[in-house]
Structure 1
């Protein structure tokens, strides 16, 4: 699967990109028809500690899934977003297999 990481208004380090790549690659275990994914990492300018936003967009044939999470760290936000995507992909897989 092709994974694109986009850092908005800051430079992202290699460790974070690798973490995101590995975590998103695990989604193929739940639904094997994933074409590509885009990860948008943003820092919101607020005094709030939870100012890191991760948006993950997954492209599957006939559909796109977009999940947005806001946490204290990018790793935590990516983790929560991937957990949500796992549930979405499993739901889609069940829906498709019930129509066959």
Structure 2
């Protein structure tokens, strides 16, 4: 599986890259039919303090799987996004296994 991590309008972070790559690799081990993952970290000026955004897009057989979340830090946003992605993967696996 190919994992591409991009930082939009913010500096590169090796720590965040390693964190999210390990999370996505675990998903790749569990669901071998994932071919590619694209991860985006974005920072917005949000008065509520939830301006840290993590988006993950997975290339799979059928439509792509996408999730996004925002929080007050990138680690929590990445954790929530991978949790949402895993829910979608479980649903997709149930559909695939039914056919």
Give your verdict on TM over 0.5: yes
Tell me the SS of whatever aligns to 2:45: coil
Structure 2 counterpart of 1:17: 17
- Following superposition, the deviation at residue 49 of structure 1 comes to 1.3
Q: How many residues align?
A: 99
Specify the alignment match of 1:73 in structure 2.
Answer: 73
Task: Give ranges in structure 1 of 5+ residues lacking alignment.
Answer: none
Q: By how many angstroms is 1:63 displaced?
A: 1.8
What RMSD in Å do the two structures reach over aligned CA positions?
Answer: 1.0
4+ residue runs of structure 1 moved beyond 6 angstroms?
none
- Quote the residue 1:39 is aligned against: 39
Aligned to 2:8: 8
Tell me the equivalent position of 1:93.
93
SS at match of 1:84: helix
Q: CA deviation at 1:32?
A: 1.3
The within-5 A match list for 1:50-61 is 50-61=50-61
Question: CA–CA distance in 2 between the matches of 1:10 and 1:50?
Answer: 16
Deviation at 1:12, TM superposition (A): 1.9
1:7-31 Cα deviation digits (max 9, x unpaired)? 0001121111000100111112442
